[in-house]
């Protein structure tokens, strides 16, 4: 019959070796457990504060800001006076001078000869010429493919030349009496606005505040 192993009956040397082996195994298991737990922890460098959710990497704010849109151009009235003839390219209006019905590509602002005429917005003077129908004329190009046209000016009163840069409200001339197609009309400024070369209603561009202050409408 096979003899069973009895620890109590073993020599002292064997008992010591056995106890040492068990102790080594226990210590090894403990060390492995500690290393395993430590490796699972996320290391965070000292003295470094993680960025908060309301900051962008470049310090530019919350990150949910939208770019500011450019402000639209504000147009002012080119002269002080009353609108005596409106823009009308669909329905003809009667021309007192020509004695016939014609379309009207601008507005007429009634004012005395010599009244100042001003740029409706900042831009570049692209043309200064004598129009065979509307007389002395100045054209100014603005942002957005907009061109403002000032006619029936005084030949001697134009104060700008082609290539000049003008600011909004800058004087460009004075009202004259050079329009051959409107000689029978009272003294006035013939004013047009073209968008990409197409005639549009100038009153749709002049601000409400300026219309009330300068044109009374």
Structural domains in the chain (count): 1
Q: How many other CB atoms are found less than 10 A from the CB of residue 141? A: 15
- The reply to whether 68 falls in a domain is no
How far does Cα 78 stand from its chain's mean position?
25
- The reply to whether 49 falls in a domain is no
Whether the predicted pLDDT of 130 surpasses 60 = yes
pLDDT digits (tens, 9 = 90+) for 131-172: 998 999 999 999 999 999 999 999 999 999 999 999 999 999
Percent with pLDDT over 70 in the chain: 66
Query: 52 pLDDT band (50/70/90 cuts)?
Result: very low
CB neighbour list of residue 183: distance below 8 Å, 6 or more residues apart: 97, 177
Bridge partner list, 93: 102
- The reply to whether 154 falls in a domain is yes
CA atoms within 13 A on the CB side of 201: 10
What's the mean pLDDT in 27-56? Answer: 54
Whether the predicted pLDDT of 50 surpasses 50 = no
Tokens of 114: 């010599």
* CATH code of the domain covering residue 170: 2.70.70.10
Q: How far apart are CA 79 and CA 99, in angstroms?
A: 27
- The reply to whether 26 falls in a domain is no
Q: How far apart are CA 136 and CA 96, in angstroms?
A: 20
Q: Give the domain extent around 97.
A: 82-215
- The reply to whether 1 falls in a domain is no
pLDDT for res 195: 96
pLDDT digits (tens, 9 = 90+) for 15-34: 566 666 666 666 766 766 66
Whether the predicted pLDDT of 212 surpasses 60 = yes
- The reply to whether 158 falls in a domain is yes
- The reply to whether 12 falls in a domain is no
- Most confident of the following: 21-25, 39-43, 102-106, 151-155: 151-155
- The reply to whether 94 falls in a domain is yes
Contact 120, 205 (CB under 8 A): yes
Long-range contacts of 138-144 (CB under 8 A, 24+ apart): 138/172, 138/173, 140/166, 140/172, 142/73, 143/73, 144/73, 144/195
- Most confident of the following: 12-16, 28-32, 125-129: 125-129
Residue 5 burial class via C-beta count within 10 angstroms: exposed 0-12, middle 13-18, buried 19 and up: exposed
pLDDT for res 25: 63
pLDDT for res 27: 72
């Amino acid at each position: 019959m096979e003899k069973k192993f009895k620890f109590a009956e073993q020599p002292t040397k064997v008992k010591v070796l056995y106890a040492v082996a068990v102790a080594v195994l226990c210590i090894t298991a403990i060390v492995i457990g500690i290393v395993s737990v430590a490796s699972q922890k996320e290391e965070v460098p000292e003295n470094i504060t993680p960025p908060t959710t309301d900051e962008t990497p470049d310090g530019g704010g919350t990150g949910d800001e939208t770019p500011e849109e450019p402000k639209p151009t504000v147009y002012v009235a080119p002269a002080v006076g009353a609108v005596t003839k409106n823009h009308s390219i669909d329905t003809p209006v009667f021309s007192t001078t020509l004695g016939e019905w014609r379309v009207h590509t601008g507005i007429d602002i009634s004012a005395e000869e010599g009244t100042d005429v001003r740029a409706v917005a900042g831009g570049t003077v692209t043309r200064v010429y004598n129009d065979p129908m509307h007389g002395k004329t100045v054209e100014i190009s603005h942002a957005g493919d907009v061109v403002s046209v000032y006619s029936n000016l005084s030949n001697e009163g134009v104060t700008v030349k082609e290539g000049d840069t003008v600011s909004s409200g800058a004087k460009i001339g004075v009202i004259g009496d050079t329009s051959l197609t409107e000689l029978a009309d009272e003294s006035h400024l013939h004013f047009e606005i073209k968008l990409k070369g197409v005639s549009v209603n100038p009153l749709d561009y002049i601000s409400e505040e300026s219309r009330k202050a300068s044109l009374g409408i």
